[in-house]
């Protein structure tokens, strides 16, 4: 298990994980821009 800020540039290649899980998180991420970055990173890191 890893813990970190999914809004930061993550040093992992695309599809590095089988699963990325977050529960009731996106509404706490902040601005729409940070929410977008968060969602893009989650989509990029898992198939």
Q: Tell me what pLDDT residue 1 has.
A: 76
SS3 17: coil
Q: 46: Cβ–Cβ under 8 A, 6 or more apart, which residues?
A: 15, 16, 17, 18, 19, 20
Q: Of 3, 2, 1, 10, nearest to 44 (Cα)?
A: 10
Q: Tell me what pLDDT residue 35 has.
A: 92
SS3 13: coil
Q: What is the pLDDT of residues 26-38, one digit of tens each?
A: 889 999 999 998 8
Q: Tell me what pLDDT residue 33 has.
A: 93
Q: What is the pLDDT of residues 6-26, one digit of tens each?
A: 787 678 888 988 988 888 888
């Amino acid at each position: 298990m890893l813990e970190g800020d999914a809004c930061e540039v993550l040093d992992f290649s695309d599809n590095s994980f089988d699963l990325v899980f977050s529960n009731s998180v996106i509404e706490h991420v902040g601005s729409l821009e940070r929410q977008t970055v968060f969602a893009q990173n989650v989509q990029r890191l898992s198939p």
